[in-house]
Structures are given as structure tokens and as C-alpha cells.
């Protein structure tokens, strides 16, 4: 493993933007300037995939009244000369377009792909802008594509190693459950509880339908998944009992059922109208 120095990304964008009084160890930050909104493009390394329309509208209203207070961090587009890739601030860029701005303030910096992904995760995690799945996917990419360990990630994003591990576990859920998490119909706590279930997808649907809490989900997930006991089947009736049922049914003109056992039994006569009931009473009372 290389002896590359760690740069404390967990401090957030303040160190990058020069607010902390310390210069970052990488390439120096260029001065702030303005660029046309059409010259900026979202980064494919951005872990955030969903932007709430209502939040964008609110931010656009604020930008229309006060302007963009924090510049958008960009790097030169690696494949398109003259274009720039957004490292941090895609939400501001989208809201600026809703506010009909033609230009936005930017800070340009030379950054490698790994640094772009790290900074995007740090910014979004600190702002609580990522869903649990988006956060997990970002961690997975840093581990798989850039050989980061969970300990390094914990240091860089200012989270515990347990948080990193628990978040990554959500990627093991079935796709149908991931969709419910992404739609905010289930929380990350629900997702972690469902990992212990024998059938997470089926239990997830039940949790959503009944509005169950995380604790209730945990209790259901830990139940053994053995087959349900079938009710004991009633023994078949003998020929004499069936014959007696038919005889009574013909006499009364109604459906008759006889159940009997070692300690007694039950005779059931089914009627549909009060007239039929009156006829049964008349016959039993000796009236016909």
C-alpha cells in the first residue's frame, strides 16, 4: 500500500474552499470566477441520484433572492475541452437553472477521479443529502475501484467503522427492498433489520403495508421460518352418517349436517328464509 498522506477529508469542504485557514495538500485552488451554466456538467462519480423537486424549488427561490452564496467546485472535464465537471454543488447548479441564472460562481481545481468521489461523498454525507443506498454505493465504489479500506473511509468521512460496515450491508438486500429504501418507504434501520429475515422481500412488503416500526421488523425478522402448522383434518364421515344426513334433508327440504364423536355430537339444519325456519319448527313440534 502506498504511503500517500491522508488529507482529512472529514473536515468537509471548508478545507477545500480555504475557509479553515489551511491550504489543501493537492493542487492549489484557482480564484473564483463565473461560468455559464451550460458549460458545467454533472459528474458520473456523483453518488447522489435523486434531487427532491420541492427542495430544488425552495433553493431556486432563495438563489433568486440572494444569489449563490457558496461557489460550485468544478474540475476541467476529462473528456470535453472547454467543459467543466461538477465536483460539489450539483444541487445549486440545478436550482440556479430553475432560477433562470445564466452564470454561476465556480472554483476550479485539478482532481483525480478518486478525489472527486471522496469529496462528493463527504459533502453529501455531512449535509445528510444521500439516501442510505446512495451512501452505501459510494463507499462500495471507493473500496472496489480505489482500494480504500473501511478504516480509511471512516476517517475520511468522519463516521465510525461500524457505520460504514452497517451501511455497506444494505447492498445485500434484494432489489425490490432496495427500491423501497430508495423511495423512502423504508428506513435504513428497517433495511438492516430485514437482512436477518429468511425472506426479506416478503417481510418488507408486510412492513410497508402495516407501517411497522424498526423494532417490530426486527422481532418478525428473527422468527424462525418454519412451515405453518396445518389444521388437523377432520376424519371422513362413515356411510351410515351420510345416509342419515340425506334422509333428513329429503324430509325437511333443507341441508342437514351431522357431526358426532365419543362424547356426543351436533345436528345442523341450514335455512335461507324465515318461512323455511317456521316449517322446521312446525314439523319438530308435531304440526305436520
For the segment 220-257, what is each residue's pLDDT rounded down to a tens digit?
Answer: 888 765 555 554 545 567 787 888 888 887 777 778 88
With 50 as the cut, is the pLDDT of residue 8 above it?
no
Q: What kind and span of H or E run contains 264?
A: strand 264-270
pTM score over 0.85: no
Averaged pLDDT of the chain: 80
List the catalytic residues: 90
HEC string of 29-70? CCCCEEEEHHHEECCCCCCCCCCCHHHHHHHHHHHHHHCCCC
Please give the share of the chain, as a percent, with pLDDT higher than 70.
81
Please give the share of the chain, as a percent, with pLDDT higher than 90.
26
Length of the chain: 288
Each domain of the chain, given as residue ranges in start order, spans 9-167, 173-221, 239-284
* pLDDT (tens digit per residue) in 158-182: 888 998 999 999 999 999 999 999 8
Q: In this predicted structure, what is the pLDDT of residue 31?
A: 65
Q: What is the largest CA-CA distance in the chain?
A: 110
Looking only at the bridges linking them, the beta strands covering 33-36 and 103-108 are: antiparallel
Give yes or no for a contact between 131 and 184, defined as CB atoms under 8 angstroms apart.
Answer: yes
* pLDDT (tens digit per residue) in 100-121: 999 999 999 888 888 888 787 7
CATH topology of domain 9-167: 3.90.1530
Residue 18: which pLDDT band, with cuts at 50, 70 and 90?
very low
What is the rounded average pLDDT of the residues 43-59? 83
Amino acid at each position: 500500500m502506498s504511503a500517500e498522506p491522508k488529507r482529512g477529508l472529514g473536515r468537509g469542504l471548508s478545507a477545500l474552499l480555504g475557509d479553515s485557514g489551511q491550504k489543501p495538500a493537492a493542487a492549489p485552488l484557482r480564484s473564483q470566477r463565473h461560468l455559464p451554466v451550460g458549460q458545467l456538467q454533472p459528474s458520473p462519480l456523483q453518488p447522489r441520484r435523486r434531487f427532491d423537486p420541492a427542495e430544488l424549488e425552495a433553493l431556486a427561490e432563495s438563489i433568486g433572492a440572494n444569489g449563490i452564496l457558496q461557489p460550485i467546485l468544478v474540475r476541467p472535464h476529462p473528456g470535453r475541452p472547454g467543459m467543466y465537471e461538477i465536483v460539489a454543488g450539483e444541487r445549486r447548479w440545478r436550482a440556479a437553472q430553475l432560477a433562470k441564472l445564466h452564470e454561476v460562481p465556480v472554483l476550479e481545481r485539478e482532481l483525480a477521479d478518486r478525489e472527486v468521489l471522496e469529496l462528493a461523498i463527504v459533502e453529501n454525507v455531512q449535509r445528510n443529502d444521500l439516501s442510505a443506498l446512495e451512501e452505501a454505493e459510494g463507499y462500495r465504489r471507493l473500496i472496489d475501484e480505489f482500494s480504500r479500506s473501511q478504516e480509511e473511509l471512516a476517517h475520511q468521512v468522519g463516521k465510525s467503522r461500524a457505520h460504514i460496515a452497517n451501511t455497506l450491508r444494505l447492498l445485500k438486500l434484494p432489489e425490490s427492498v432496495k427500491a423501497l429504501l430508495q423511495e423512502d418507504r423504508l428506513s435504513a434501520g428497517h433495511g438492516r433489520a430485514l437482512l436477518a429475515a429468511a425472506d426479506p422481500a416478503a417481510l418488507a412488503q408486510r412492513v410497508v403495508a402495516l407501517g411497522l416500526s424498526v423494532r417490530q421488523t426486527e422481532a418478525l425478522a428473527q422468527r424462525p421460518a418454519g412451515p405453518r402448522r396445518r389444521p388437523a383434518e377432520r376424519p371422513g364421515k362413515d356411510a351410515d352418517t351420510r345416509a342419515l344426513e340425506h334422509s333428513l334433508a329429503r324430509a325437511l327440504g333443507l341441508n342437514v349436517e351431522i357431526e358426532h364423536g365419543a362424547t356426543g355430537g351436533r345436528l345442523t339444519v341450514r335455512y335461507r328464509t324465515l318461512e323455511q325456519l317456521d316449517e322446521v319448527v312446525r314439523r319438530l313440534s308435531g304440526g305436520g
